[in-house]
Structure 1
Amino acid sequence: MSEFHQQPNVFVNHVTIKVQELKRSITFYKNIVGFQVLEQSETIAVLTSNGTTPLLTLEKRGEVVPKQPRTTGLYHFAILLPNRKELGKFINHLTEQRFQITGAANHEISEALYFNDPDGNGIEVYCDTPPSSWRWQNGLIHATNSQLDFESIAADANGELWEGLPPQTLMGHIHLHVSDIKRAEQFYHQGLGLDVVIRMDDHALFFSTGGYHHHIGVNIWNGTGAPQPQKNSVGLQNFTINFPNEKAKQTIVQNLQSLQYSVSQINGNYVTNDPSGNEIILAVGK
Structure 2
Amino acid sequence: MNFHREPNTFVGQVILKVQDLDRSLMFYQEVIGFKILDRTNRKANLTADGKTTLLSIEQPDNVIPKQGRTTGLYHFALLLPERQDLANIVNHFIEKRVPIGSSDHLVSEALYLSDPDGNGIEIYIDRDPSEWNWNNGEVAMAVDPLDFENLLTSMEKKAWKGLPAGTVMGHIHLHVSELTKTEEFYNKGLGFEVVNRFGTQALFISTGKYHHHIGLNTWNGVGAPPPPVNSVGLESYTLILPNEETREEIIEQLKRIGSSVAEEQDYFVTTDPSGNRIHLRV
TM-score after normalising by structure 1 = 0.98
The match for 1:141 is 139
Q: 1:160 deviation in Å? A: 3.2
Q: 1:222 deviation in Å? A: 0.3
Alignment of 1:1-286 (within 5 A): 2-101=1-100, 103-284=101-282
Task: Provide the C-alpha distance between the structure 2 equivalents of 1:226 and 1:76, rounded to a whole number of angstroms.
Answer: 17
Task: Provide the C-alpha distance between the structure 1 equivalents of 2:95 and 2:140, rounded to a whole number of angstroms.
Answer: 34
Task: Provide the C-alpha distance between the structure 2 equivalents of 1:105 and 1:79, rounded to a whole number of angstroms.
Answer: 15
Task: Provide the C-alpha distance between the structure 1 equivalents of 2:226 and 2:54, rounded to a whole number of angstroms.
Answer: 25
- SS of equivalent residue, structure 2 residue 236: strand
Amino acid aligned to 2:248: Q
Task: Provide the C-alpha distance between the structure 2 equivalents of 1:42 and 1:155, rounded to a whole number of angstroms.
Answer: 42
Q: 1:149 deviation in Å? A: 0.9
Amino acid aligned to 2:224: A
- SS of equivalent residue, structure 2 residue 73: strand
Amino acid aligned to 1:109: V
After TM superposition, where is structure 1 displaced by more than 6 Å over at least 4 residues in a row? none
Q: 1:150 deviation in Å? A: 1.2
- SS of equivalent residue, structure 2 residue 186: helix
Q: 1:266 deviation in Å? A: 1.3
Task: Provide the C-alpha distance between the structure 2 equivalents of 1:158 and 1:187, rounded to a whole number of angstroms.
Answer: 44
- SS of equivalent residue, structure 2 residue 191: coil
Task: Provide the C-alpha distance between the structure 2 equivalents of 1:145 and 1:160, rounded to a whole number of angstroms.
Answer: 31
Q: 1:159 deviation in Å? A: 1.9
- SS of equivalent residue, structure 2 residue 200: coil
Task: Provide the C-alpha distance between the structure 2 equivalents of 1:124 and 1:98, rounded to a whole number of angstroms.
Answer: 17
Amino acid aligned to 1:51: G
Q: 1:152 deviation in Å? A: 1.4
Task: Provide the C-alpha distance between the structure 2 equivalents of 1:186 and 1:100, rounded to a whole number of angstroms.
Answer: 37
Task: Provide the C-alpha distance between the structure 1 equivalents of 2:128 and 2:169, rounded to a whole number of angstroms.
Answer: 18
Task: Provide the C-alpha distance between the structure 1 equivalents of 2:275 and 2:130, rounded to a whole number of angstroms.
Answer: 36
Alignment identity in percent? 50
- SS of equivalent residue, structure 2 residue 230: coil
- SS of equivalent residue, structure 2 residue 81: coil
Task: Provide the C-alpha distance between the structure 2 equivalents of 1:63 and 1:88, rounded to a whole number of angstroms.
Answer: 39
Task: Provide the C-alpha distance between the structure 2 equivalents of 1:120 and 1:163, rounded to a whole number of angstroms.
Answer: 25
Unaligned runs of 5+ in 1: none
Unaligned runs of 5+ in 2: none
Task: Provide the C-alpha distance between the structure 2 equivalents of 1:157 and 1:167, rounded to a whole number of angstroms.
Answer: 17
Task: Provide the C-alpha distance between the structure 2 equivalents of 1:51 and 1:262, rounded to a whole number of angstroms.
Answer: 34
Task: Provide the C-alpha distance between the structure 1 equivalents of 2:241 and 2:279, rounded to a whole number of angstroms.
Answer: 11
Q: 1:61 deviation in Å? A: 2.3
Q: 1:158 deviation in Å? A: 3.5
TM-score after normalising by structure 2 = 0.99
Q: 1:83 deviation in Å? A: 1.2
- SS of equivalent residue, structure 1 residue 9: coil
Q: 1:183 deviation in Å? A: 1.0
